[in-house]
């Protein structure tokens, strides 16, 4: 492209072509997908271990898993910012900025949750109950991050967030209505819920975004 | 009929402004790739747009490498809106 005068039709063509090219600079689905896979596989293994193996060590492993999960979320967030391909230059879109801000918010909240919950776990007699509640709060934070991202990426993905919101409300209400008080049952309930939330908020939208990026 | 802004009515400057309209900021390499222009020519056009306060240019060193980040200003956004409106009235008259 050179510095030359153009006619009206050419002007219009340049404007539309450049705007179209900029739109191709979409948000990467990789953090969604990998955080989703890690959380899903890890949750199944760790929660099964906690529920079926009667050892106090399992609660520690469970807590450790969430620490790892939060660390992975943090690393993915940082890697996404630092290791961007610079070969073709960098353009920060408004969508990307909003997406990064929402995930930054999620990661910071998760780290704070871990710090606060550590104190509660140490003091509580029913450690499994605290872990169950912690899982629920973690799921809510993931949901919040996903909700902001879906607004940023595409309006239509909001439906996943609403389904998720409904699932959280139903399962939580169900748990309190039945009157499940012991830690193990609460943990089972929240484990199922957490798994569902991970699939709905991370894996499914991640695949959708990847498909759109391929297009 | 209103005259088209001569500063914007140029292939490369219009392309730069159109790109910056859709993003919060873009670096020099990105602009060069998208516009398929030479570094020297792009620098001159960026300088002209910056002098007119249509874009903000921030230069800094990143690990020994010099980086130039451009973003559109409110004045630039308004100028593009007026340019698009004038263009529309021209095309209506065809």
If you ran DSSP here, which 8-state letter would residue A29 be given?
-
If you ran DSSP here, which 8-state letter would residue B57 be given?
E
Query: Alpha-carbon distance A68 to A61, whole Å?
Result: 10
Confidence of residue A176 (pLDDT cuts 50, 70, 90): very low
Residue B21: closest C-alpha in chain A: A19
**DSSP per-residue string spanning A140-160:** HHHHHHHHHHHHHH-GGGHHH
Closest residue to A18, CB basis, from B18, B25, B44: B18
A92 in contact with chain B, both atoms CB, cutoff 8 A: yes
A125 in contact with chain B, both atoms CB, cutoff 8 A: no
Using an 8 Å CB-CB cutoff, list chain A residues near B72.
Answer: none
When pLDDT is averaged across residues B86-90 and rounded to a whole number, the result is: 85
Q: State chain A's mean pLDDT as an integer.
A: 66
> What is the per-residue pLDDT for A54?
67
Three-state SS at B65: strand
A81 in contact with chain B, both atoms CB, cutoff 8 A: no
When pLDDT is averaged across residues A7-31 and rounded to a whole number, the result is: 74
Structure tokens at A108: 């910071």
Instruction: Please check whether residue A153 is in contact with residue A95, taking contact to mean a CB–CB distance below 8 angstroms.
Output: yes
Q: State the number of CA atoms in the 13 A half-sphere of A150 facing the CB.
A: 24
Q: State the number of CA atoms in the 13 A half-sphere of A185 facing the CB.
A: 10
Query: Alpha-carbon distance A62 to A117, whole Å?
Result: 13
Closest approach of chain A CAs to the CA of B52, in angstroms? 17
Confidence of residue B55 (pLDDT cuts 50, 70, 90): very high
Using an 8 Å CB-CB cutoff, list chain A residues near B83.
Answer: 11
Residue B94 has pLDDT above 70, yes or no: no
Nearest CA among A187, A195, A197, A196 for reference residue A43: A195
**Contact between A2 and B11 using a beta-carbon 8 Å cutoff:** yes
Three-state SS at B29: helix
Supply the ipTM of this predicted assembly: 0.85
Residue with tokens 């529309």: B88
Closest residue to B29, CB basis, from A17, A89, A92: A89
pLDDT, tens digit, 9 for 90 and up, residues B3-43: 888 889 889 999 999 999 888 889 898 899 889 899 999 99
> What is the per-residue pLDDT for B58?
92
Of A13 and A171, more confident: A13
pLDDT, tens digit, 9 for 90 and up, residues A39-80: 666 666 766 776 677 666 666 666 666 666 666 666 766 666
B57 strand-pairing partners: B70
| Long-range pairs, A40-48, Cβ under 8 A, ≥24 | A40/A195, A40/A198, A40/A199, A40/A202, A40/A203, A42/A68, A42/A69, A43/A191, A43/A194, A43/A195, A43/A198, A44/A195, A47/A187, A47/A188, A47/A191, A47/A194
> What is the per-residue pLDDT for A143?
63
**Contact between B19 and A91 using a beta-carbon 8 Å cutoff:** yes
> What is the per-residue pLDDT for A144?
67
Using an 8 Å CB-CB cutoff, list chain B residues near A17.
Answer: 18
B56 in contact with chain A, both atoms CB, cutoff 8 A: no
Q: What residues contact residue B17 under an 8 Å CB cut-off, 6+ apart? A: B8, B49, B54, B55, B72, B76, B79, B80
Alpha helices in chain A (DSSP H): 8-23, 30-52, 56-82, 94-123, 127-153, 158-178, 183-198, 204-214
């Amino acid at each position: 492209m050179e510095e030359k005068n153009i006619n009206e039709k050419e002007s219009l063509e340049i404007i539309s072509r450049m705007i179209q090219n900029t739109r191709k600079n979409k948000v990467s689905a990789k953090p969604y997908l990998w955080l989703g896979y890690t959380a899903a596989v890890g949750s199944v293994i760790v929660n099964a271990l906690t529920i079926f193996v009667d050892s106090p060590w399992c609660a520690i492993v469970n807590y450790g898993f969430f620490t790892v999960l939060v660390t992975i979320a943090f690393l993915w967030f940082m890697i996404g910012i630092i290791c961007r391909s610079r070969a073709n230059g960098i353009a920060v879109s408004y969508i990307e900025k909003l997406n990064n801000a929402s995930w930054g918010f999620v990661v910071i909240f998760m780290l704070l949750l871990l710090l606060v919950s550590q104190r509660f776990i140490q003091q509580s007699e029913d450690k499994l109950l605290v872990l169950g509640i912690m899982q629920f709060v973690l799921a809510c934070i993931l949901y919040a991050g996903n909700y902001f991202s879906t607004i940023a990426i595409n309006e239509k993905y909001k439906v996943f967030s609403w389904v998720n919101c409904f699932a959280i409300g139903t399962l939580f209400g169900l748990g309190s209505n039945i009157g499940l008080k012991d830690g193990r049952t609460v943990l089972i309930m929240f484990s199922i819920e957490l798994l569902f939330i991970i699939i709905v908020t991370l894996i499914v939208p991640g695949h959708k975004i990847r498909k759109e990026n391929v297009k | 009929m209103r005259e088209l802004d001569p500063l914007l009515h140029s292939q490369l400057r219009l392309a730069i402004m159109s790109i910056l309209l859709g993003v919060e900021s873009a670096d020099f390499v990105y602009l060069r790739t998208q516009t398929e222009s030479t570094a020297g020519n792009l620098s001159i056009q960026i300088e002209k747009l910056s002098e007119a306060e249509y874009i903000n240019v921030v230069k800094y060193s990143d690990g020994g490498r010099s980086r130039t980040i451009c973003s559109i200003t409110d004045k630039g956004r308004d100028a593009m809106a007026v340019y698009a409106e004038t263009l529309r009235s021209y095309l209506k008259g065809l």
